[in-house]
Structure 1
Amino acid sequence: MSIKRRPWLGFAAASLAVAWLGVAAIGAPAMAQDKVTVFAAASLKNALDAANAAWTKESGKETTVSYAASSALAKQIEAGAPADVFISADLAWMDYVAGKKLIRDGTRSNFLGNRIVLVAPKDAAKRVEIKEGLDLAALVGDGKLAMGAVDSVPAGKYGKAALEKLGIWPSIEGKVAGAESVRAALALVSRGEAPYGIVYATDAAADPGVSVVGTFPEDSHPPIVYPIAVLSESENAGAGAYLDYLTSDKAAPFFTEQGFTVLK
């Protein structure tokens, strides 16, 4: 016996499927919106990844992070890239974003401190006393001194300032290999492509392929300060709570364990 199909049943099923797909389409952006999007200086990666994992476990909310040089991130924010929170490796690039009216009033604070160090490949490390008149060019020899681009990358700017203050810059300027970020400079040394590099102490601690051979005097460069702020275009209700978590005592160990100083 043949069974006649009822047209209205097919129509109802199709309508239900369309309605379900519509709900799913509406729900997908809502779920994506729950993720806090963070633009963070490359040197923060290890510490921030650990802090974000703890934040997700505690709050149930996820994060997505774009790591790069602060200069690149600031320019992306200016160009309209969607982000909720910005953590810069220096005050200048946060000031730049603030000058464009792109950070939310009352959310900016000085978050972390750091040091800059001279590193060498692990198997070729010899202690270097960093002081006025150091013949760094002779140490580098025919190689290159790896550091962040000195006109834009914060670690590069701090490094250049220190070398200038110590009277070393004129002799080493022609041997500098400027990298797009401090982590890129670190990689050049770790892979043995550069005999020395200037990076943050926290970066050196995160890479077993390098050794710290000298630490720059703190008074040889401007204080290294990482500011943090919620961006004015953010519509994510969780951004403020995320920022509060990162700057809390609960999250502090994730950063101090990597060598950062937590600023209060």
Structure 2
Amino acid sequence: MNIDRRHLFRIAVAALAGWLGISAFAAPASAADKITVFAAASLKNALDAANAAWTKETATETTVSYAASSALAKQIEAGAPADVFISADLAWMDYVAEKKLIKDGTRSNLLGNRIVLVATKDAAKPVDIKEGFDLAGLVGDGKLAMGAVDSVPAGKYGKAALEKLGVWSSVEGKVAGAESVRAALVLVSRGEAPYGIVYQTDAAADPGVAIVGTFPEDSHPPIIYPIAILTESKSPNAAAYLDFLKSDKAARFFTEQGFTILK
């Protein structure tokens, strides 16, 4: 009896696949099934962990581009392909919304955060952050690392706090404006700036720095991370992904990094 060798091969592959617990001839996931996320740089540690859990649960892959919210918003405006945008402030989400680039009914406020003063871990001493505190004296001849104060959300929050506390004019000339809050954090971690203003979640992610003071919440606008699906998204899984990030399953990944959950 002649037995088709291709048939035997298919039987063998199917048997092996069954033993491994996978589908022998399942079609590979299409690009549309994957989710591309543009997310504020300060989200990296928490969102990477949440995305790993999402992929494990759904077998849907995510690709994330992390950068300053301002840079991401401009890329979206320029037509960069993405499904989801998570901004570190309301202003840059508003900017994208005004361009009609987010889907109606998908926007919500996901997370909250705090801004803190950090120093290199070896030189960290507590600082009483209050009206008129001598930040310029602390910085001395060095630099104060911050996100760019005209565009990066953490930089804008930091400037607002320093203005409210009456110390901005004394340190304005000492500011080293970075392209993102994570870039500002690196300046302090490497000892290139003695102090920096970053989110408390960033400080928790870098063992090279220590929080020496926390800015009063009433010294700056509320720190809110909005999320939305972009109008150009073709992913059938984008809505489910948003629901996952807003679920109790994902909440622990954010709270472990110091974020607060907004619902």
User: With structure 2 as the length reference, what TM-score do the two structures score?
Assistant: 0.89
Alignment of 1:56-67 (within 5 A): 56-67=55-66
Task: Give 2:160's aligned residue.
Answer: 161
Once the two structures are TM-superposed, the CA of residue 30 in structure 1 deviates from its matched residue by 6.2
Partners of 1:88 and 1:242 in 2: CA distance = 16
Partners of 1:75 and 1:177 in 2: CA distance = 23
- The structure-2 alpha-carbon separation of the partners of 1:121 and 1:31, relative to structure 1 and needing over 3 Å to count, comes to same
Partners of 2:33 and 2:186 in 1: CA distance = 34
Task: Give 1:262's aligned residue.
Answer: 261
Task: Give 1:76's aligned residue.
Answer: 75
Once the two structures are TM-superposed, the CA of residue 28 in structure 1 deviates from its matched residue by 9.9
Task: Report % sequence identity.
Answer: 86
Q: Secondary structure at the match of 1:39?
A: strand
Q: Secondary structure at the match of 1:251?
A: helix
Task: Give 1:195's aligned residue.
Answer: 194
- The structure-2 alpha-carbon separation of the partners of 1:30 and 1:169, relative to structure 1 and needing over 3 Å to count, comes to same
Q: Secondary structure at the match of 1:61?
A: coil
How well do the aligned residues superpose, as a CA RMSD in angstroms? 1.3
Number of aligned positions between the proteins = 238
Task: Give 1:212's aligned residue.
Answer: 211
Partners of 1:43 and 1:122 in 2: CA distance = 20
Partners of 2:78 and 2:134 in 1: CA distance = 42
Partners of 2:228 and 2:110 in 1: CA distance = 9
Partners of 2:248 and 2:111 in 1: CA distance = 13
Partners of 2:247 and 2:83 in 1: CA distance = 18
Task: Give 2:17's aligned residue.
Answer: none
TM superposition outliers: structure 1 runs of 4+ over 6 Å: 27-30
Once the two structures are TM-superposed, the CA of residue 249 in structure 1 deviates from its matched residue by 1.2
Partners of 2:30 and 2:222 in 1: CA distance = 40
Alignment of 1:128-207 (within 5 A): 128-207=127-206
Per-residue deviation, residues 128-167 of structure 1 (Å, max 9, x unmatched) = 0001111111110110000000000000000000000000
Partners of 2:223 and 2:28 in 1: CA distance = 38
Alignment of 1:69-148 (within 5 A): 69-148=68-147
Q: For structure 2, list consecutive stretches of 5 or more residues without a partner in the other structure.
A: 1-25
Q: For structure 1, list consecutive stretches of 5 or more residues without a partner in the other structure.
A: 1-26
Larger radius of gyration: 1
Residue type of the alignment partner of 1:128: V
